[in-house]
Amino acid sequence: MAFAQAPRIDTLDFYGLRKTTETQVRQAVGVKEGAPLPASKGDAEERLDQIPGVVESHLEAVYDAGKMVLYIGLEERGAPHFDLREAPEGDMRLPETISNEYRSFVEASAAASRAHITAEDLTQGHARSADPATRLIQDRFPLFATDHLAELRDVLRNSSDEDQRAIAAYVIGYAPNKLDVINDLQYALKDADAGVRINATRSLVAIEVLAKLEPKQGIRISPTWFIEMLNSLSWSDRNRAVGALQILTDQPAPGVLDQIRDRALPSLIEMARWKTLAHALPPYLLLGRIAGLPDDAVKEAWTRGDREWVISQATAMMGKRKSK
């Protein structure tokens, strides 16, 4: 969203605040609920970076259910760090046919979203929109991924153009043999560009759905980078990582849950406390799994407004693990 348009903030929320206080952040940015977004995102982040102990900051505006939410994220000195790869420097590009079809897909998808048609079928291991115009374009991508797999892979790993890498991260997920592209997509999860990471995550989530439905295919997706993304400075990274980890833990996965507990529990807890309920619910449910609680009990606590009960149970599990 263009911050220069300065829509007003309905909700202000935070992550990465371990030692820094919310008051310090509010004073540095100079915004509050009901006020316009900062005129300059870069200037606001620069002021945040001057707070003692802050290594880097990130502002991200999210429009949700008619409300503007401004997320302010910090990385403090000594906190977990999600390390991104330097952008590549190659000049390779995809065939114009693929780039043009992807741009048509983006336009069709945006139109469908405005018409409130957002559902997708992921059961084939890639997205097929409920919107006929969008789906018609998506259904051409498997052929592109088959005929141009080498080019998609080369652009994803080596092109200096982040838009080209983002297109590759989306289209390559339509390859008929999903095992062929999992490594490429997991590589893209640490791309320097947020758009590339978003598309790689979208592709991997769809493949996760197929893996769950057809276990005989032997598809295995590592949870490691999704868990590390829970510590990302980007709200989008965190939000999408939770969705991927929910699918990976739909079936009993004690090793994955232990890894989340060890590597990212504080981040997950602060996400579960976010004010926007639609954003807080997925990390809250994941915390319930970490605590070993029945889904019904976790949902009941949410309904009665007692998030802290689940959070305390997950925190207690961490304490027990450290004492062993």
Which pLDDT score is estimated for 320? 57
pLDDT, tens digit, 9 for 90 and up, residues 23-39: 999 999 998 999 999 98
Cα 263 to chain centroid distance, Å, stands at 17
Which pLDDT score is estimated for 322? 52
Angle at 285 between CA 281 and CA 287, to 5 degrees: 115
Which pLDDT score is estimated for 319? 56
Question: What residue ranges of the chain have pLDDT lower than 50?
Answer: 1-4, 323
pLDDT, tens digit, 9 for 90 and up, residues 158-195: 999 999 999 999 999 999 999 999 999 999 999 999 99
Which pLDDT score is estimated for 3? 46
What does the DSSP assignment read for 57-120?
EEEEEEEETTEEEEEEEEEETTS---PPPPPP-B-----HHHHHHHHHHHHHHHHHHHTT---E
Q: How many Å apart are CA 156 and CA 289, to the nearest integer?
A: 34
Q: Structural domain boundaries of the chain?
A: 3-76, 96-217, 224-243+250-323
What does the DSSP assignment read for 160-212?
S-HHHHHHHHHHGGG-SSGGGTHHHHHHHTT-SSHHHHHHHHHHHHHHHHHHH
Q: How many Å apart are CA 132 and CA 119, to the nearest integer?
A: 11
Q: How many Å apart are CA 245 and CA 257, to the nearest integer?
A: 9
The domain 3-76 having CATH identifier 3.10.20.310: the answer here is yes
